[in-house]
Structure 1
């Protein structure tokens, strides 16, 4: 019998997809061929794929039915008009520019708003977001509360902006050099941590005082709304839909990867209220994406996204999603496996720094742990630590984040509690013999977003890892 803490799936299974059952010997070869980078392992070589929740959603029959109504007109598609209407109704923004996915929206926003020498404050970096900001000449400044950098600190809203840090930055560089504040709801790299409604309101008030825009990374905004309902007394009696709408009212716009909380496999959008910014975005999107009324998405995908937005605010859906994360986390914590607390809404994050506390950070403990978890069980996960953080562009040295994590990301409406039992046992077995695990060295490093395509090799038991050379240095070495 399911307990009240772990509600049963609010759906029934209509179609099934076989998944791979591999041997340890096979996985050893697959891992070696992939350069010990889980991003480079083929999907068909994975048993339970927890690499990401981006685009891995199982769509509903309602969404699939909408796909058959795709209007693939080059301009003025009826599916765009439906998506526009739904975004206005559920999010409240005046204008929407569809993009092929979230980073298309990040690219447009960065190109439209950033000048060389600008500063973009945000509540912890995200990889592609910061890359777009830096490529357009900005410096990212972390203004998240200090508690977010402590994996074991229990705080209900670890995603909150530190208003003192934001005010200090404004005083130091001037409001005119801050094109917008980027607030992620929730904060992925902190462990899927939410931002409170009170904090969003306070950020908006401070930014309005200085004439600075607030732009949300709304990728997991429904999860954030759920945590607000659960943890913020003033919002306890509000619906998820009402909380979401109020959250968005404290922003001037947002970027959205529809591959998460919009419950689709591809697509995204950029929203704003400013008419002049919308006009400029409508011109720029033609260069990088497509017409302003499709922007890199097919009509059928826009229809599925509009319907996914409607489904995403159903309380039973989001309650079950968060419960799956808690189910896995509770099993790991009961066995003493170190994880980030409190648990977020899209993943459980293993604390690789504590899990492999015998490895220095320059031996890539999170990358090592992700590789060994795949070797152990065929469960694919993702590094979120020193590899993802990249290098300081001034010094060339690694960024060394305090959080060294492995993300066990749960796709929406895909796996059951039984699958999570397998994941938990694999992590527990690995933790019990963690002392025998050696670190890695990086043998290939791309110039940008290295975690996607970098390659590694295991270190001998007694060896120490040299700092890998960036790609441009390798070419001339």
Structure 2
């Protein structure tokens, strides 16, 4: 798919001296760098994409009613058509949905298995007194692994959890599609069905974190034989059909800049979710979003499962991976659907893990070319066994070939001077370590 640009923004590459000062002022944490000082922003694909003309047109007709908004009714219809979910509880974004759902399901002392918890999911489980346990597929964190569905949920791991704590302490089982923390790897429909059966065995609520459901469906179409002749839209519907509840950030595969929801199939759960949503997010027909945002979200969901769009999306991520790898930085393979994951542990093997080689690589990409990525290793996930990854996440429908070439040029310069990069130490961090990477400050060792 090709796009025409109907609006453009300017990009400035700040001089090297300014980049140095920006890093010092930010405490070497790229979340603290202002976007005006970033040339190519690959920090996240969440809410950073470009909306279509159809979405902008829908915004002009947004119904801003506090109660009974027609724009919410449009979103409900889209969610049911695209995802097969009947009951929709809107929230301002994905972490709002996590707060609503996990605050309802998780109590003190509970254990929550997930194929791999991402940062805010992990934090919401901890905040409610639970213990998050990662159950990734074998080889998911090995940059040299090979497999079609390395994002899968490891049922043997989950059964060990149940044997250890008892089924009554495992009230919810979560599968994240695609598996963001495991290099954006996809999850098979067969695995989702197996997890559904396991949840039934232990009488647990089965939750799918569906932020990147369309990208996952595209991988299923290409790699899972049962679905070789199915459309992305059909697969998107099927892969969510067994879930009791769905957490959705519209800022990913909803193709909007704000918004999310909890989707509920289990009606016994619905009332509790709705009451908590009213308390934290707003009334049930707006959930922290303006009517115009609801309207754009309704259109974006339908666009996300269009074959030309999702194929172009995945192809561009592969293009970025090839470019960065050709520049000399090692990239996790196979490539996922929304981002590439650079193996900073291999690129900076002179820096020990406790000095955060991933953070060092992220800093050097900014220092060299004002390219902003994010560390997803031991700095972002303390006290967990994660590889030293740097994620470069592509916003949807935003960047073009020249931006990818520029990232490649930056990566080549960084790779050429890899031996000169220092490690880092944390000098200030918030009490909740699960979220420290958003605001902690560091300094070079």
> TM-score scaled by structure 2?
0.98
- Structure-2 separation of matches of 1:122 and 1:400: 14
Q: Work out whether 1:403 is the aligned partner of 2:387.
A: yes
Question: Where do 1:301-380 residues align within 5 Å?
Answer: 301-380=293-372
In the alignment, structure 1 residue 427 sits paired with structure 2 residue 411: yes
Superposition deviation, residue 244 in structure 1: 0.5
- The one of 239, 254, 258 equivalent to 2:250 is 258
8 Å contact kept, 1:150–1:402: no
How far apart are residue 402 of structure 1 and its match?
3.3
| Structure 1 segments (4+ residues) deviating >3 Å | none
What are the superposed Cα offsets for residues 239-284 of structure 1, whole Å, 9 maximum, x if unpaired? Answer: 0110000000121111111000000000100011122311111111
Determine if contact 1:52/1:409 at 8 Å carries over to the other structure. Answer: yes
3-state SS of 1:57 partner = coil
Match of 1:58 in 2: 50
> Which of 132, 137, 150 matches 2:129?
137
**What is the CA distance between 1:188 and its match in structure 2?**
0.8
Partner of 2:425: helix, strand, or coil?
strand
1:217 aligns with 2:201: no
Q: CA RMSD in A?
A: 1.1
Q: Do the aligned residues in 2 keep the contact of 1:70 with 1:303 (CA within 8 Å)? A: yes
Distance 2:385 2:180 in 1: 14
CA distance in 2, matches of 1:102, 1:335: 34
Which of 447, 450, 454 aligns to 2:436? It is: 450
Q: Does 1:98 align with 2:84?
A: no
Q: Distance in 1 between matches of 2:7 and 2:152?
A: 40
- Is the Cα–Cα contact under 8 Å of residues 103 and 128 in structure 2 kept in the other structure? yes
Partner of 1:37: 29
Distance 2:164 2:17 in 1: 57
Q: Which residue of 2 aligns with 1:272?
A: 264
The structural deviation recorded for 1:10 is: 2.3
Distance 1:187 1:106 in 2: 16
Per-residue CA distance 1:125-151 (angstroms, 9 max, x = gap): 211001110111111111111211212
Matched, 1:47 2:33: no
Structure 2 Cα separation of the partners of residues 314 and 252 of structure 1: 26
Secondary structure of 2:184 counterpart: coil
Q: Is the 8 A contact 1:190 1:403 kept in 2?
A: no
Q: Name stretches of at least 5 consecutive residues in structure 1 with no aligned partner.
A: 1-8, 391-398, 460-477
Q: Matches of 1:336 and 1:423 in 2, distance apart? A: 12
Is 2:424 the partner of 1:440?
yes
Contact residue 425 and residue 444 of structure 2 kept, 8 A: yes
Show structure 2 runs of 5+ residues with no match. none
**Within 1, Cα distance between the matches of 2:4 and 2:401?**
14
Call closer, same or farther: CA 1:250–1:274 in 2, change over 3 Å.
closer
CA contact (8 A) 2:324 2:407 kept: no
Residues 120 and 138, structure 1, Cα contact 8 Å, conserved in 2: yes
Deviates more, 1:329-338 or 1:287-296: 329-338
Q: CA deviation at 1:100?
A: 0.5
In the other structure, the counterpart of 1:469 is none
Task: Please point out which of 374, 380, 398 is paired with 1:414.
Answer: 398
- Counterpart in the other structure of 2:114: 122
Aligned residues: 443
CA distance in 1, matches of 2:247, 2:223: 25
- Checking the alignment, whether the CA contact within 8 Å between 2:93 and 2:251 is kept in structure 1 is yes
**Contact 1:152–1:339 (CA<8 Å) still a contact in 2?**
no
> What secondary structure sits across from 1:349 in the alignment?
strand
Q: CA deviation at 1:70?
A: 1.1
Q: What does residue 85 of structure 1 align with? A: 77
Give the 3-state SS of the residue equivalent to 1:116 in structure 2: coil
Partner of 1:242: 234
